[in-house]
Chain A
Amino acid sequence: MNRRKMLKGLALLSGLAILPLRVFAEMRAAFTAEAPEAALKELFGDKPIEQSDAIKLKIPDIAENGAVVPVSISTEIEGVESISIIIDQNPNPLSASFTIGEDVFADVSTRVKMGKSSQVRAMVETSDKIYTVGKEVKVTIGGCGG
């Protein structure tokens, strides 16, 4: 049993898990990771990651203002547990991770900051696999320094 499974087990035992909730400490580690692959490892462990054209990632090709970049992610894939946004070139690539319960669609929109031009990846997690699609976004004015 690895650390991830044990933390999840503890959360279940203490009755915290209404949704497939992530353990807080685990999320912190994912959000503070400084490389995209490290963030993915913290989020998903060793689950296989597969490219998918069944995910709709809506984000501008060119973001004039990196401080406010609208992102929408939706998919018809069955059994979605979470949707996450990874911005490869940001100092901390993981931007947001949404836990999808049974009473919501796998369809979320928000706005994110981008320090510079980067690939943006949507990660869709199911019980046994991660599906992903990416897009290059060109940033004219960065939004992380100020």
Chain B
Amino acid sequence: MKVSKSWLKELVELKISIDEVEKLLPLRTIGTKEITENFIELDMKGYNRADLLSMRGVAREVAAITDSEIKFTEVPHKDYVWVEQSLPELKVEVEDDKLCPIYCVAKIEGLKVGGSPKDWVKKLEDCGIRSINNIADLTNLMMLEYGQTMHSFDAAKVADETMIVRLAKEGEQFETLDGKNRILTSEDLLITDPKGILSLSGIMGGKDSEITEDTDSILLEVAIFDPVSIRKTGQRLGLHSEASKRIQHGLTRKGLFQALDAAIKMYQDLGGKLTALTIVGETEDQIKKVPLTLEKTNSLIGVDLSKTEVEDFLKKLNFEMEEVEEGRWVVTPPYYRLDIEIEEDLIEETARMYGYEKIPAKELAEELPEKIDQSLFDLIYNTKKSLVDLGLTEIQSYSFYSTKVLGALGFDESNKENIIRVANPISSETEYLREFIWPNLVEVIEKNLKQGYGDIAIFEVGKVYLPPSTSLRGSDSDRGNLPIESYRLAIALMNSSDNPVKELNTIFSLGANLFHPPGVQVEKGGLMKELKTLFHPTRFATVKLADKVIGGLAEVHPRLLNHFGIDKKVAILEISIERPN
């Protein structure tokens, strides 16, 4: 959300400078992404504060954290422009009130499309929205001020002036405002007239009912749609608009009526006349009541606030406090704070009004936790340390096989399904998960060989991933039926000799003495059949621990090395690292 600085000043009588507001916002409310002389951009990614997607919401928040007064008031129900009028209704059909809990449409006649006044354009531009024409700009201004999305259709282009809110049929097609043809599914919510589709609810309007130079009357749609449905459609079509963002964060009926009333009044100022109005659905917001105790507040924050302090903080944020017994309240959040649901939410409000940065440090309690077996972590670190002491360099490579490694290992369409695949890889370099580490080390040798390294002794300790069906190690009981991941140690050595296995064997034997319990043995032969093409026909050995095979040691087959353009001999070792018994 880009917050226009000049607009903010119209809405709040700031007691401090705007510079100080900029510094205070990240401490009290939300981080900022970018600040210019015109706007402050709030970092809304993933955030749950729907109210901060509106200028009025930001103004209320800024007023609370700076102890300033807001300069606007909310129009009471009796003063809504339509209340004293008896207006005809337009036909509206809502198929499912879960997907569209409230739908309002107002007909406004006698408009003339033209450019927007300068101050509108400035407000829009500060907030990152391009000015289109006065009719469309007005709906965008309302969205920015109240957080309520709206859409104006050219009334002449809506058949029978009838609006239908329904789900799309599988495969139905629709051309959105951006000129793209969209193929719809039965999960997409639509606004249609009896003849055809008018808009993809809350996401984007259609080409056919767009406001043009000739438009003189509009149907103004102001509604609330189901956030999950809008999110799903938006994600599937890759359409993320300012409107859909606000719907996903949540809208309120009170906010809707405030915005509808303001919009109609502004259209009237443009010379328009309200000639019909329909409101379908529940018109009252659900009021939440959340319990709060002083004791829990202080114990969770770790401070000693008084009752009055807590009340003051929350009242500044427009929470209603009803003390039901000593130090125990029932709190009613203001209608626009959809994010407040539980006591901990109120405690966070209190903590931030107090100031997180003022919370004193407190040592941990004296009672110690039960002892947990740390041997696996010790083993991993000791393994690394021992090999480093023997002169090796530790590598951390990706958990994926690169396409080059896949090719070298002989993976193709026929056997790729034996390894775990990422369904949505960024590229083919992050598509398959490694089942061994050593091939990645061979790739590291290639890269460094090209940089002129003639002697490379490296290792990695990390996880490999095997689909359960091909898993050799199904013993990890606390994982339930999860795919098997296990820790491995891999070493690769290119020492420019004809027979690097010899030195690798010495390194491993010396290392193993340091990091492994006694009993590790290396025995000639015993290579798994399916690995034969990858290794030298005679130079391989099995690594055993107490008669259990834990891995192998081998010279890499030159054919495989040739894939990487490596013309020197390379020896590798890979063993399982398991929690000692």
Are A and B bound to each other?
A: no
Binding site for A on B (CB under 8 A): none
Binding site for B on A (CB under 8 A): none
